[in-house]
Structure 1
Amino acid sequence: MRFFDHCAKFVVLVEENDTAMGQVNAFKEGPEMKKVLEKVASTLCLPVEELNADLVQVAFLTCSYELAIKNVTSPWCSLFSEDDAKVLEYLNDLKQYWKRGYGYDINSRSSCNLFQDIFQQLDKAVEESKSSKPISSPLIVQVGHAETLQPLIALLGYFKDDEPLLANNFAQQAHRKFRSGRIMPYAANLAFVLYHCDHVNASQEEYQVQVLLNEQLLPFLHSNKTTSTYADLKDYYKDLLENCHFKEECELPQSMSLLSMSCEGTKWKGC
């Protein structure tokens, strides 16, 4: 389920590209993070020069892990105020946005295979039902990671803000939709549920779908309702169904392939 590891365009343009996380690195050096660093350094009686954003983020994550897993307040939590937590949350959201979310098109389009597989399985169930055959796979479970789901959620178009997440718009993004901790918590899960409805007014209403993220119904983007006919859902994603294919999306242009080969052993900055 780590499709992105096999997507050459993602690996070259994002994973191994030092400049791809430019917004993340800029925020680490920005005024909001500097304020957090100064406060933590003062609390620990350390020179601020001995701390950096990565170290402070480790302390914050340790606090959050112990609270979430053990339900105890870690001593590390005493270092941070609610405002500090918002800054560090934004730092993590920036990373997820630019590496797994809407930051680059290839992030989401690397999940084309998973997207296509979901609809192929739904198509198969519909065809078997129409033929009065037993549904061969009434339940399909695929297990991956948050890094598996986040690109797919972005491909589906959920939690997309009007403005991109940037290093310099922390305050403007206070009410953002893209919050990776809420979208991808522990044991995050996405479910497509297909229904066969007997008593309907039109044949296209016979098969209907619901989508649940973390056991909560998601409203469909084309209707803002939590139930959609399968036909309407396929129509909404028609372009992706017809044009989103892993091989074509992830293949590097020949010129870029040659350039990346010539840069082997160096830090690739060519995106």
Structure 2
Amino acid sequence: MASVAEAYVFLTYLKVLFLTVTTYLTCTAHNSPTRPMFSVFTSYNDSLEKTHGLPTNLSWSQLASTVGEDKTSSSCQPVGIYSIQRHGSRYPEQRIITTYQTFFSRIARSRINEEFAYLKNEPLDRFTVEKAECLTDKGYNELLEISARYPARLFPLFRDPVSIFTQSSFQSTETNRTKESAEAFISGLCKECRFITPKHDEDKLILVMKDGKIYSEIHWLPILHDPLLLPKISSGICKDSIAIEEHSREFYSFKNSPFVEEVLHHVISRLDYTGDFSMTLDELQSLYEICATEMNLFGASNWCKLFSQSDLRAMEYLYDLQEYWYSSYGYRINYLPYCVLLQDIASHLESSVASGSTSTKKIFKFAHSTTIQGLFALLGLYRTSVIPTADNYPLDGNWEYRGGIISPYAANIVFSVFRCAGRSTLPNAIGDVKVLITHNEQPLKIGPCDSYYCDLTTLTSYLRSKVGSCDLDEICGGVVRDLPMKT
């Protein structure tokens, strides 16, 4: 019996030792390749670093050579673009900031572990209600840097200021962070352009160069009437069909699971000095988002030091559950309404190469994580082999649906159209036509396309098969509502 008891004690000791070691493996080890991400709060560059993709400064021909498709695309020239871009890094939403401020004031009055006493000196004005969900300076620069690479990548479309804004269209959602992201993007496209103070109109933002010769407009629609970029909430039928509680079920189930409770216990144990300190799960959630934002903005965070690597993985999974079930494959109503956007993409790809067409050649849309994820799910991209739930959290941290990879801040999906030598398979088009799809500036194969530079007719046929009837009354009304909506 003694040997059994001794073995039990030894195993318990090993478990405690393991937890103690992981406690000190905090996110300050910023360059660790195994460090967790922060779901959709991950910065653009951190996401690129995690995926180890191709360099983002390649021209379209260099990219073709890198992926071994230079022979099939050597005679091609870019003639059109359709880009969907998420806004850049933002501040947390108001409820997170309010909860954080309340928690911080309690920390300031409490006797906490001396090791973390410096937390009482954190600058409270770093996160204020006035900044809630606003674009950060880093977010502005993310868009500036991404767009600055377009002229080198697709030079014929961006030879000079005139060509940049000729036959171009810029549309954002109604939020300030997407409008400002669009403004940053336009400034990055044209480095020599010096815009005067933007003029705000009721439904557009006008950017005029100092010499008055060139201007650009950023248009938007009211949030509740934007069927292209926010179809889920712009359609009254869709909006009425969405049960937030149902879509967030897995999120709250995991939030109240032993895994997140253990994270809460770890954080309390690091702060606690008297044994009387308490903390709620909502406060834990606010600290995590503050930690994520500071890591994004500054590359380091004192609040992150309260979390171990395993703690951060559990919190990342919590937020990835929310993304999967609220914005992606969890329910068909999350992505089927994006048929409107997909239909617009397919039509633009065809019209940009039609003989004698005077239509807009370059389309840029600025939206949200839900837009990116909804479109991807409709296209069948990043579908997981295992449906993530609160009950199947992988302890090794390897799950498939990663918001930090799919839709970090400034995430983008771009359809670049090329006219090539040869006979076209598309009526009224001049020459053979190919389309390169990139996700976060990395080439992407889709559906029936067996190469990155995909035949236009093959691609648009596939896109239209995904569009279907695109009847929002049917999608958001009785047919989908009355059937189980889980995929």
Q: TM-score range by the shorter chain?
A: 0.7 to 0.9
CA displacement, residues 215-244 of structure 1 (integer Å, 9 cap, x when unaligned): 111122334532211111133334323333
Alpha-carbon distance between aligned partners in 2 of 1:62 and 1:3, rounded to the nearest angstrom:
30
- Per the alignment, residue 178 of structure 1 pairs with 401
Provide the C-alpha distance between the structure 2 equivalents of 1:211 and 1:245, rounded to a whole number of angstroms.
26
The residue that corresponds to 1:7 in the other structure is 235
Task: Tell me which residue corresponds to 1:189.
Answer: 412
TM-aligned CA deviation for residue 97 of structure 1: 0.6
**Which residue pairs with 1:265 in the alignment?**
none
Offset, 1:206? 1.4
Aligned-partner residue type, residue 139 of structure 1 = K
* Structure number having the greater strand percentage: 2
Does the residue aligned with 1:149 lie in a helix, a strand or coil? helix
- Using structure 2 for the length normalisation, give the TM-score: 0.47
Query: 1:227 maps to what in 2?
Result: 453
Q: 1:262 is matched with which residue?
A: none
CA-based RMSD of the aligned residues comes to 2.7
Which position in structure 2 is the counterpart of 1:104? Answer: 331
Which residue identity does 2:361 align to in structure 1?
A: P
Identify, as 1 or 2, the structure richer in helix: 1
Indicate conservation of the 8 Å contact 2:369/2:407, yes or no.
yes
Work out which of the residue numbers 336, 358, 361 in structure 2 matches 1:138.
361
Counterpart CA distance in 2 for 1:103 and 1:166 is 10
Give, as a single letter, the amino acid of the residue that structure 1 aligns with 2:252: N
Between stretches 213-222 and 162-171, larger displacement belongs to 213-222
**Distance (whole Å) between structure 2 residues aligned to residue 203 and residue 151 of structure 1:** 30
Letter in 1 for 2:240: V
Indicate the residue corresponding to 2:225 in structure 1: none
Matches within 5 A, 1:136-175: 136-171=359-394, 174-175=397-398
Match of 1:84 in 2: 311
Q: Residues 197 and 243 of structure 1: is their aligned pair in 2 closer, same or farther, counting only changes over 3 Å?
A: same
Distance 2:307 2:395 in 1: 22
**Structure 1 residues 186-205: Cα deviation after superposition (integer angstroms, max 9, x where no partner):** 111111111111146x7469
Task: Determine if the alignment matches structure 1 residue 32 to structure 2 residue 259.
Answer: yes
Aligned-partner SS, 2:366: coil
Superposed displacement of residue 173, structure 1? 8.5
Aligned counterpart, 1:253: 478
> Residue 82 and residue 119 in structure 1: after superposition, are their counterparts in 2 closer, same or farther (change >3 A)?
same
Residue in structure 1 matched with residue 468 of structure 2 by the alignment: 242
- Percent of pairs with identical residues: 29
2:276 and 2:332 map into 1 onto residues whose CA distance is 37
Q: Within 1, Cα distance between the matches of 2:327 and 2:307? A: 27
Q: Tell me the distance in 1 between the aligned counterparts of 2:450 and 2:308.
A: 36
Question: Residues 13 and 169 from structure 1, CA distance in 2 versus in 1: closer, same or farther, beyond 3 angstroms?
Answer: farther
Change over 3 Å in CA distance of 1:226–1:77 after alignment to 2: same
Contact 2:251–2:318, Cα closer than 8 Å, also in 1: yes
Which of 246, 259, 280 matches 1:52?
280
Quote how far apart the aligned CAs of 1:11 are: 2.6
Q: CA deviation at 1:177?
A: 2.9
Q: 1:13 to 1:44 in 2, by over 3 A?
A: farther
Please say if residues 125 and 136 of structure 1, whose CA atoms lie closer than 8 Å, have aligned partners that are also in contact.
Answer: yes
Corresponding letter in the other structure for 1:5: I
CA distance in 2, matches of 1:228, 1:100: 28
Contact 2:438-2:444 within 8 A present in 1 as well: yes
Whether the 8 Å contact between 1:111 and 1:246 is mirrored in structure 2 is no
CA separation of 1:37 and 1:6: change in aligned 2, threshold 3 A:
same
Deviation at 1:8, TM superposition (A): 4.0
**Structure 1 residue ranges, 4+ long, deviating more than 6 angstroms after superposition:** 46-49
Rg larger in structure? 2
Paired with 2:417 and 2:444, the residues of 1 have a C-alpha distance of: 14
Distance of 1:49 and 1:99 partners within structure 2: 34
2:295 to 38, 57, 67: 67
1:217 to 1:54, Cα distance in 2 relative to 1, 3 A: farther
User: Structure 1 residue 55: deviation in Å?
Assistant: 1.9
Return the match for 2:269 from 11, 26, 42. 42
Deviation of residue 57 (structure 1)? Answer: 2.1
SS at 1:228's partner residue? Answer: strand
Tell me the equivalent position of 1:260.
none
Structure 1 unpaired stretches of 5+: 258-270
